[in-house]
Amino acid sequence: MRRELKVFTGSAHPALGEAIAQNLSVPLGRAHLARFSDGEVWFQIHDNVRGADVFVVQPTCAPVNEHLMEMLLMLDAFKRASAARLTAVIPYYGYGRQDRKARNREPITAKLLADCLTASGADRMVSIDLHAGQIQGFFDTPVDHLTAMPVLLDYLSEHAPDDLVVVSPDAGRIKVAERFSQHLESDLAFVHKRRPKGSKNIVEALDVVGEVEGRRCVIIDDMIDTAGTIVAAGELLKEKGATEVWAMATHGVLSGPAVDRLKNSPITRVVITNTLPLPPEKQFDKVEVLSVARIIADALDAVFEDTSVSEIFGGENQS
């Protein structure tokens, strides 16, 4: 008998789960997620999942810990309901920045989360543009690392000017920015920055390596959180003579002062994807949201059919 493909979603981003199910031409799985009066999460599956290939879609958007607990409970429920194979689909992998001990006596929380997902029953994990590629090694089960690059490249190919310069906001993202510049046949630059010792959301942009004067620049990053890095880079690019600055990222976290910073910055366009929901209070004139539902659906179909995921991206989905 052929296994069934079933897609379920938690409360973090049901619109994305619905879009993925539509692209796979399957109905979204029926379940009930609620909370007791003291805040405890309660979950019940309404569909028969015995012997099925189950994909649970849940990005770790705010409140991060609430949505992580939902994911763990859902995975445990599907495991106990005898799903044949269980895949945690986490478009934005929270705690990904805590992938090493940067200072003494710190946890490696990205590894801890991987252990929790595995212990809860996940047989594999699917994510998009992990903050650090080595997070894949934190899992003892398969990880399919996707990239939003095809969606972002399509947008740039349609809207970007001919004199575009692709800019990496720091040295760590040069490899990704270089891939964009090669596809677009454009020039490449990067910003030299530093983060004051002991700070978490303060960034100083010091200089630009590359020719940006009189050019239009697009900054490529994996996420925009408080927007400190992106805005500091945009201000420096304008100081160096850039005629226009765009910001482009896979994950629009947009926490804390991010929206106000972007509104008041010299950046004229902010392009993100829908790996995370964008509530009304975070929507503003400069922002544009692209859908990655088709990319995720294609990857899940490949997992279900036991075919290659990397072929979807031409092998460019690895960090």
Identify whether residues 31 and 143 lie together within a single domain.
yes
3-state SS assignment for residue 165: strand
> Token digits for 209?
């390596």
pLDDT at 161: 80
318 occurs within a structural domain: no
> Which residues, listed in sequence order, are joined to residue 55 by a DSSP beta bridge?
7, 87
Q: Which is the catalytic residue, given 193, 197, 240, 286?
A: 193
Q: Is the pLDDT of residue 55 over 90?
A: yes
pLDDT at 199: 58
What is the mean predicted confidence (pLDDT) over 138-144?
96
CA dist., res. 235 & res. 251, Å (int): 21
* Local structure of residue 28 (DSSP, 8 states): B
- 263 among known catalytic residues: no
What pLDDT, in 10s, does the model give residues 190-249? 888 666 565 555 566 678 889 999 999 999 999 999 999 899 999 999 999 999 999 999
284 occurs within a structural domain: yes
Do strands 216-224 and 164-168 pair parallel, antiparallel, or not at all (unpaired)?
parallel
Report which of 270, 238, 236 is spatially closest to residue 254, judged by C-alpha positions.
Answer: 270
Q: Please state the φ and ψ torsions of residue 238, each to the nearest 5 degrees.
A: -65, -40
Q: Is the pLDDT of residue 67 over 60?
A: yes
319 occurs within a structural domain: no
Report which of 218, 120, 121 is spatially closest to residue 167, judged by C-alpha positions.
Answer: 218
pLDDT confidence band for 292 (50 / 70 / 90): very high
Report which of 74, 117, 76 is spatially closest to residue 93, judged by C-alpha positions.
Answer: 117
Percent of the residues in the chain that have a pLDDT greater than 70, as a whole number = 95
Identify whether residues 114 and 37 lie together within a single domain.
yes
> Which residues, listed in sequence order, are joined to residue 164 by a DSSP beta bridge?
216
pLDDT at 173: 85
CA dist., res. 306 & res. 304, Å (int): 6
Number of domains the chain is built from = 2
Task: Give 317 or 66, the one with higher predicted confidence.
Answer: 66
Q: Is the pLDDT of residue 310 over 70?
A: yes
Do strands 143-146 and 41-45 pair parallel, antiparallel, or not at all (unpaired)?
unpaired
pLDDT at 229: 87
pLDDT at 198: 57
Identify whether residues 213 and 128 lie together within a single domain.
no
Can you give the residue range of the structural domain that contains 200? 149-290
> Token digits for 187?
């020039």
CATH number of the domain to which 252 belongs? 3.40.50.2020
Q: In what order do the strands lie in the sheet with 5-9?
A: 5-9, 53-57, 85-89, 124-128, 143-146
pLDDT at 122: 98
CA dist., res. 120 & res. 118, Å (int): 5
Report pTM.
Answer: 0.93
Q: How many CB atoms lie within 10 A of CB 77?
A: 20
Report which of 231, 243, 241, 238 is spatially closest to residue 270, judged by C-alpha positions.
Answer: 231
What is the mean predicted confidence (pLDDT) over 28-48?
96
What pLDDT, in 10s, does the model give residues 72-114? 999 999 999 999 999 999 999 999 999 999 889 999 999 999 9
pLDDT at 318: 63
Identify whether residues 15 and 113 lie together within a single domain.
yes
Identify whether residues 104 and 156 lie together within a single domain.
no
Q: How many CB atoms lie within 10 A of CB 26?
A: 18
pLDDT at 160: 84
Residues 6+ apart with CB under 8 A from 239: none
Identify whether residues 195 and 285 lie together within a single domain.
yes
> Which residues, listed in sequence order, are joined to residue 188 by a DSSP beta bridge?
166
Cβ contact 122:54 at 8 Å = no
DSSP for 233-250, written as a single string: HHHHHHHTT-SEEEEEEE
CA dist., res. 182 & res. 83, Å (int): 43
CA dist., res. 80 & res. 162, Å (int): 55
Range of weakest confidence among 14-23, 42-51, 168-177? 168-177
Residues 6+ apart with CB under 8 A from 260: none
Identify whether residues 141 and 34 lie together within a single domain.
yes
CA dist., res. 193 & res. 56, Å (int): 38
pLDDT at 172: 78
